[in-house]
Structure 1
Amino acid sequence: MGKAAEAQTSRLSASRLDGDTTSSAVSMLEKETGDHWAPREGEGEPTQDAENQEPSASSSTEIIAAENVENTDYVTGYKLGLLLVSVTTFFFLLMLDMSIISTAIPQITSDFHSLEDIGWYTGAYQLTSATLQPLTGRVYTRVSAKWVFLFFFFIFEVGSLLCAVSQSSVMFIIGRAVAGMGSSGLQNGALTVISGAVPMEKRPIYMSIMMAFGQTGLITGPLIGGVFTQYVTWRWCFYINLPLGGLAGLFLSVLHVPDQTSKPRVSFKLLREIIPDLDLVGFAIFAPAAIMFLLALQFGSSEYPWSSSTVIGLFVGAGVAFPIFLYWEYREGDKAMIPFSMIRKRIVWVSTLQFTGLATSVFIGAQFLPIYFQSVKGVGPTLSGVYMLPNILSSVLFIVMSGALITRLGYYLPWAVVASAGTTVAAGLISTWAPDTETGLWIGYQIIYGLRGCGIQVGLFALQYALPPAQSALGTAFLIFCQNFSAAVFAVVGNTIFTQTLLKEIVRLAPSVDPQAALAAGGSAEAVRSLVPQGSPELAGVIQAFATAFDTVCYMLIACAGLSFVASFGMGWVDVRKKKEPEKGDV
């Protein structure tokens, strides 16, 4: 047996396993992968000169088996605190970047005269993030999470810089796409880092803390973006990522970050070895399919008629490529970028539906709520952010409270149901907002909307508990992929609903206003009110048209949250405080 294999075997021996560690680990590997290993003819006990030989198939299997055994090298004390602060800072900036643009979008569209591009400002980010997400899951299963995480954050920072110095709408969209590429490995990476740092029974509270601050970034983003847009420049919405991210990256680079399973040290040799295991063929099929589908949605909603050959051709191309991708993934088995053996487990796809439906409702809501406050209520970017404080504070409160109680009480199902039901009801109430909606009503409805915090992290807890350590990173990546892909699709769908409703309502309520001029004006209070002469009786019609367009988008939020509510009941009555009972062949 080679030295590398001996090192892995010694790690296995330290894991307090019953009986023969290696055989148990191999049994577990066989159970998870469906492959059965037996020594080849002539193999047996290692000879005296075995250390001078290349590792055999059996030693390779032992190494792979070791990767399926959970590492118990957890972080404690002040080191855990520093690690949590660093990763939470990254998570905060990531969530902040997703929403800080919302109050800046009206001004950006006015500066670039590009209201028709509003879907791309979020869609380009979500497109690249969702496309790369499954591939990053494969990377995290083989390479140290710390260095993979820092690599993707560097790309994210480059994208932020491009957005900050953009001179045109096209350049800004490119910057958002690059930032999205970086984000593809950050959200799931942050969750993977925490999973390796603390034991299962403590993950709910630590992940809740991280996600609470992340939700703070997601919800305070409009307020911060409003301040920058109104008093400095919207470009600082992206400059802010550079110093804060650089400081957090410096701390993380010197901290010990344990992996959930044993992994070799990062080297060029390791990178050469894992490339064949990344399912690059599957990625090469999946990426064009996803891009063609999202491009078809974007082009059909803005530049081309839905019946045009360009849009139809893109839909057809995606429709042809996607079944080919599914066949390839099925053929690859557990080596696939998205293993079917994992996603066909009920807890995986149900948790994914619950998480995706709820998160999509949150993301789209964060994009359009500032449009309502600015275009309809007529306030500036800063005050529109202040008007969203009830949403912010209630969400953070419910996230931290639910995380602490799940850790103490153990059961996550009730929180998922309450969160989804509350969000569905709140979206329905928000869809009644009009130009004359009273302050008490829009504050109260946002507090109810904050109930989503009770269950925004529950799908992740369920997935972490149900999957073995070797599939934890893959499962997390799949969950975040579905969330980002759904957000990318519904960002475009939401923009289409908004713009088409606005065009129809402007013609009906303000006939003298050119509908295309209304689109080009953007969503800022000043731009909307400049569409008609001062004192014009048609101003009320213009404002009502924007209010109706916003309300129509809320119907989509109701549907997404409703899907999450239905899926919640399939997550099972599980106590995460209890250790999973080992099955035959498990470690």
Structure 2
Amino acid sequence: MAKENEPKYLSGLPLFACLASVTLVAFLMLLDTSIVATAIPRITTDFHSLDDVGWYGTGYLLSNCALQPLTGKIYTYFSNKWTFITFFTVFELGSALCGAAQSSNMLIIGRAVAGLGASGLFNGAFTILHASVPSHKQPALLGVLLAFSQLGMLCGPLVGGALTQHVSWRWCFYINLPCAAVAVPLLLFIEIPDHDHTKANNDSVWKLLQRLDLQGFVLFSGFSIQLLMALNWGGSTYAWSSSVIIGLFCGSGVTLLIFVVWEYYRGSEAMIPLSLISRRIIWASCLNYGFFSGCAFTSTYYMPIYFQAIRDATPTMSGVDVLPSIISNMLIGVLCGVLIGRVGYYLPFGVLSGILTTVGSALLTTLTPSSTTGIWVGYQIIQGAGRGFGFQIPITAVQNNTPKEQVSVATAIVTFFMNFGGAVFLSLEETLFTTELRKLLAQYAPTADMEAVVAAGASAFREVVPDDLLPAVLIAYCKAITRCLILSTALGGAALLFAFGMGWVNIKQKKKEAKEEEELERKNEEENETEMGA
């Protein structure tokens, strides 16, 4: 009887195929994140849409984070395999829409669709691996997943720059489609285990929808959309004091209040259980990840603009120029995982991440049009190292300080804060960039055609600026970028502050205690079965 109740795990070729497919999907997600950054200057030139730069990232992150808290419950009540394939199909549909976009608005819609699909992919990859192998094998497979998927961050700028320069920026999105033809068939022919889905099978459709807390999802989506629209439009499309912006802020606040009351009413079945989010380690990890993500996305989106606009680099070379940050991020990230496993404590690396990220961002604010190669390479390495140390710390903190039955929900919540932080602060920085650029152009190049410079985009404004005004325009452009990096520095400092709240915990000791508890439970079950048999 004991063996009949034991979960079925994958091994051999099926396990390899499963790991390969989910790793490829995770790789494509991170590739999509970094490949777009080097294409943005050319996109803004083609669509004359410099004011929309923030929405290319925000549209993706907004839809991603709006659905993120719900994905944990979706994987709980539906098939792991088919849920994962469905999310991936939506992600690919969004990529196809972006590639075929005929306007900036269509591109933003495509990014939003891709974000909806992406919201369930990383959670899904972790869930599938968790169900596919016993607990003692999971860390090794997760290490492989994270290490190889981060190659997407490494390849993105190079591939994006090459495609943008030599083919078309559209292939930065189309490139995802042939990869899907490899990943999906691998999953289709594998019987991926589904543990603990019996409740969903026995529930009525209405009961299942109640368990998903769709009302909470609608309320939270409304709050997110209103807040992001207010932050993106404020100071650019509308004045901060306009009725539209004030209305959006008020609407988001009221919607958030209603959401909190609703989640309190839902209790343990809420989309975001208040009893969980109120724990110090959980909320500190969430806030750390939100500020950390905002800091990281700033350099991801604005450093390629610095290289193409200020240093007149081609899209390919701008991809090469950001490699110091990406390589140090990847290498330090892998090293950090090994060190945490050896030392047992994750908090020192979270603090170190905050220090390096803040210092690196502060150094990047000193960049000028004449900064030497050694300066911008060194500064990027420092910031990239900080990002590498910090990438996994909030996830590690949450998963090692949460009861097993709440781990998937807690992971979804902290991942949501990562995406939401990126969306909020990218939107703020886009508004800051365009507002400051106009002010600085009026200060340094008052005779230049300000609107023509802004409309031309980051990679083509030189064509509309007379040679005698170009140095002044470059100074204005550079200062607008570095003022966004000042905000990034503040975000790094906030991440450092909340890192101290993630707990001084020895995860090696906790794993040992968990293993002893599992052995005790197993012995009790065997004794009960023996007594029943007697």
Common topology (TM > 0.5): yes
Corresponding residue of 1:333: 267
- Secondary structure, aligned partner of 2:507: coil
CA distance in 1, matches of 2:2, 2:390: 37
Structure 1 pair 459–196 and aligned structure 2 pair: CA distance change class (3 A): farther
Corresponding residue of 2:323: 389
Corresponding residue of 1:304: 238
Are 1:509 and 1:538, in contact at CA under 8 Å, matched by a contact in 2? no
Are residue 494 (structure 1) and residue 425 (structure 2) matched? no
Corresponding residue of 1:96: 31
Corresponding residue of 1:529: 462
Deviations 1:400-453 (A, max 9, x none): 112123233322222222222111111111111111111111111111122121
Are 2:69 and 2:409, in contact at CA under 8 Å, matched by a contact in 1? yes
- Secondary structure, aligned partner of 1:305: coil
Letter in 1 for 2:264: Y
CA distance in 1, matches of 2:302, 2:13: 40
Corresponding residue of 1:546: 477
Alignment of 1:97-136 (within 5 A): 97-136=32-71
- Secondary structure, aligned partner of 1:173: helix
CA distance in 2, matches of 1:13, 1:341: 35
Letter in 2 for 1:499: T
Are 1:347 and 1:570, in contact at CA under 8 Å, matched by a contact in 2? yes
Tell me by how many angstroms 1:253 deviates. 2.5
Letter in 2 for 1:380: T
Alignment of 1:113-512 (within 5 A): 113-200=48-135, 203-259=138-194, 261-264=195-198, 273-451=207-385, 452-512=387-447
Report the count of equivalent residues. Answer: 516
Letter in 1 for 2:108: I
- Secondary structure, aligned partner of 2:512: coil
Structure 1 pair 278–294 and aligned structure 2 pair: CA distance change class (3 A): same
CA distance in 1, matches of 2:492, 2:480: 19
Tell me by how many angstroms 1:367 deviates. 0.7
Are 1:420 and 1:564, in contact at CA under 8 Å, matched by a contact in 2? yes
- Secondary structure, aligned partner of 2:70: helix
Are 1:406 and 1:412, in contact at CA under 8 Å, matched by a contact in 2? yes
Tell me by how many angstroms 1:201 deviates. 5.6
- Secondary structure, aligned partner of 2:307: helix
**TM-score, structure 2 length as denominator?**
0.91
Can you give the 5+ residue segments of structure 2 that lack an aligned partner in the other structure? 522-534
CA distance in 2, matches of 1:162, 1:11: 50
CA distance in 2, matches of 1:440, 1:283: 48
CA distance in 2, matches of 1:170, 1:275: 33
Are 2:77 and 2:200, in contact at CA under 8 Å, matched by a contact in 1? no
Are 2:9 and 2:132, in contact at CA under 8 Å, matched by a contact in 1? yes
CA distance in 1, matches of 2:10, 2:427: 42
Letter in 1 for 2:23: T
Tell me by how many angstroms 1:302 deviates. 2.9
Are 2:294 and 2:423, in contact at CA under 8 Å, matched by a contact in 1? no
Structure 1 pair 202–346 and aligned structure 2 pair: CA distance change class (3 A): farther
Are 1:216 and 1:392, in contact at CA under 8 Å, matched by a contact in 2? no
Structure 1 pair 448–209 and aligned structure 2 pair: CA distance change class (3 A): farther
Tell me by how many angstroms 1:269 deviates. 6.8
Structure 1 pair 480–118 and aligned structure 2 pair: CA distance change class (3 A): same
Structure ID, larger Rg: 1
Tell me by how many angstroms 1:560 deviates. 1.8
Structure 1 pair 299–514 and aligned structure 2 pair: CA distance change class (3 A): same
Are 2:232 and 2:430, in contact at CA under 8 Å, matched by a contact in 1? no
CA distance in 2, matches of 1:388, 1:412: 28
Deviations 1:214-263 (A, max 9, x none): 3332343222111111000000011011111231122122224335x422
CA distance in 2, matches of 1:276, 1:382: 50
Tell me by how many angstroms 1:273 deviates. 4.4
Structure 1 pair 432–204 and aligned structure 2 pair: CA distance change class (3 A): farther
CA distance in 1, matches of 2:294, 2:24: 22
CA distance in 2, matches of 1:510, 1:566: 40
CA distance in 2, matches of 1:408, 1:14: 34
- Aligned equivalent of 1:560, options 486, 491, 499: 491
Are 1:200 and 1:465, in contact at CA under 8 Å, matched by a contact in 2? no
CA distance in 1, matches of 2:189, 2:207: 26
Deviations 1:454-489 (A, max 9, x none): 221121122112222321221111111111111111
CA distance in 1, matches of 2:127, 2:303: 31
Answer 1 or 2: which has greater helix percent. Answer: 2
Letter in 2 for 1:580: E
Are 2:233 and 2:431, in contact at CA under 8 Å, matched by a contact in 1? no
Stretch of structure 1 that moved more, 447-456 or 234-243: 447-456
Stretch of structure 1 that moved more, 509-518 or 211-220: 211-220
- Runs of 4+ with >6 A deviation: 265-270
Tell me by how many angstroms 1:270 deviates. 6.7
Are 2:236 and 2:435, in contact at CA under 8 Å, matched by a contact in 1? no
Deviations 1:132-152 (A, max 9, x none): 111222212222322211111
Tell me by how many angstroms 1:153 deviates. 0.7
CA distance in 2, matches of 1:435, 1:363: 22
- Secondary structure, aligned partner of 1:131: helix
Are 1:301 and 1:492, in contact at CA under 8 Å, matched by a contact in 2? no
Deviations 1:16-42 (A, max 9, x none): xxxxxxxxxxxxxxxxxxxxxxxxxxx
Can you give the 5+ residue segments of structure 1 that lack an aligned partner in the other structure? 1-9, 16-70
Letter in 1 for 2:481: F
- Secondary structure, aligned partner of 2:464: coil
Structure 1 pair 556–206 and aligned structure 2 pair: CA distance change class (3 A): farther
CA distance in 2, matches of 1:579, 1:12: 24
Structure 1 pair 205–548 and aligned structure 2 pair: CA distance change class (3 A): farther
CA distance in 2, matches of 1:255, 1:361: 39
- Secondary structure, aligned partner of 1:224: helix
Letter in 1 for 2:461: V
CA distance in 2, matches of 1:216, 1:446: 18
- Aligned equivalent of 2:18, options 58, 83, 86: 83
CA distance in 1, matches of 2:269, 2:201: 22
- Secondary structure, aligned partner of 2:187: helix
Tell me by how many angstroms 1:11 deviates. 6.7
Aligned-residue sequence identity (percent) comes to 45
Q: CA RMSD in A?
A: 2.3
Corresponding residue of 1:68: none
Corresponding residue of 2:524: none
Are 1:100 and 1:225, in contact at CA under 8 Å, matched by a contact in 2? yes
CA distance in 2, matches of 1:580, 1:139: 30
Stretch of structure 1 that moved more, 433-442 or 288-297: 288-297
Are residue 571 (structure 1) and residue 513 (structure 2) matched? no
Corresponding residue of 1:38: none
Tell me by how many angstroms 1:537 deviates. 2.3
